[in-house]
Amino acid sequence: MNLPTPGQPPQVPVLALGDVLLVSLQGELHDGMAEQLQHDITSRIAASRVTGVVIDISGVDIVDSFLGRVLAEIASTARLLAARTVLAGMRPAVAITLVELGLTLPGLVTALDVDRALELLSQRGT
Amino acid sequence: MNLPTPGQPPQVPVLALGDVLLVSLQGELHDGMAEQLQHDITSRIAASRVTGVVIDISGVDIVDSFLGRVLAEIASTARLLAARTVLAGMRPAVAITLVELGLTLPGLVTALDVDRALELLSQRGT
């Protein structure tokens, strides 16, 4: 795995919406970014009592086994810190490719878009 | 896997009932048709915010390992797009054959007929 280069790797922005974190992935996620993102999310959950994480992947064209594993790991880590993760905005072509690769992301809850993901989190969270 | 022939392969009709898609399989499903069906269902789910898919197999005499895999893949893809799939109307003889073949379709929810499948989807879907 590549470690982040000393000159600050590009970061994935993590927004707070009330007690939910919103992460929008765009394009490709490199090794260092994935690790950084996982650290960001977990520290934010612990620091600010976040109860849900929405990962928006509508800007992602390809989900390979690496990204699939990163997403599953983020969800597992969040769950251990008592937050639920919803994966939002998966494109149909991405879903088909994932299933063809045998990556069905069993531990992840999905929603069609960010709105529905937030709705899902607010419904079950109460 | 055979690709659909240029002269339009026979298609499996996909009906919309509210926010549920109803697919009635009849007779045998060929490779090209299966692929086409999977694409149809996924694009319809994404386009029209479908929350459930009912696959009626009451007209199917034989479910072999190919069809079993296609059904499981459709269900997995639908789940990634936040829709649930229910398999309806399996004949007793088909169920016996499936179990004899060791195909227990673990990821699939089943219902006795289409009515009960719709009921199941509306109950949990709210």
Residue A8 lies in a domain: no
Q: Examine the pLDDT at B4 and tell me if it is beyond 80.
A: no
User: What is the value of ipTM here, to two decimals?
Assistant: 0.70
Residue A2 lies in a domain: no
Residue A35 lies in a domain: yes
Put residue B11 in one of left, alpha, beta given phi > 0 → left and psi -120 to 50 → alpha. Answer: beta
Assign residue B46 the CATH number of its domain: 3.30.750.24
Residue B4 lies in a domain: no
Which of A99, A113, A118 to substitute to test the interface with B, most B CBs within 10 Å?
A99
> How many cross-chain Cβ pairs, A to B, lie less than 8 Å apart?
42
Q: Which residues of B touch A99 (CB under 8 A)?
A: 73, 76-77, 80
Say whether residue B77 is in contact with chain A using an 8 A CB cutoff. Answer: yes
Residue A89 near residue A58, CB atoms below 8 Å: yes
pLDDT in tens, B17-55: 889 999 999 888 888 888 899 999 999 998 888 999 999
pLDDT in tens, A26-76: 888 888 888 899 999 999 998 988 999 999 999 998 888 888 889 999 999
> Which tokens is A121 given?
């989190």
Q: Examine the pLDDT at B2 and tell me if it is beyond 70.
A: no
Residue A9 lies in a domain: no
A116 → chain B, closest CA residue: B82
pLDDT in tens, B101-120: 888 887 789 999 999 999 99
| Strand order from edge to edge, sheet including A14-17 | A14-17, A20-26, A52-59, A84-88, A109-111
B37 → chain A, closest CA residue: A96
Residue B61 lies in a domain: yes
Q: Which domain holds residue A102?
A: 14-125
Number of domains in chain B: 1
Residue B63 lies in a domain: yes
Q: Examine the pLDDT at B122 and tell me if it is beyond 50.
A: yes
B81 → chain A, closest CA residue: A112
Closest by Cβ to A92, choosing from B42, B49, B76: B42
Residue B1 lies in a domain: no
Closest by Cβ to B76, choosing from A94, A104, A116: A104
Say whether residue A96 is in contact with chain B using an 8 A CB cutoff. Answer: yes
Q: Examine the pLDDT at B126 and tell me if it is beyond 50.
A: no
Say whether residue A30 is in contact with chain B using an 8 A CB cutoff. Answer: no
Provide the pLDDT for residue A74: 93
pLDDT bin (cut points 50, 70, 90) of residue A126 is very low
Instruction: Identify each DSSP E strand in B18-82 by its residue range.
Output: 20-26, 52-59
8 Å CB contact of B42 and A96: yes
Strand, helix or coil at B91? Answer: coil
Q: Which residues of B touch A110 (CB under 8 A)?
A: 79-82
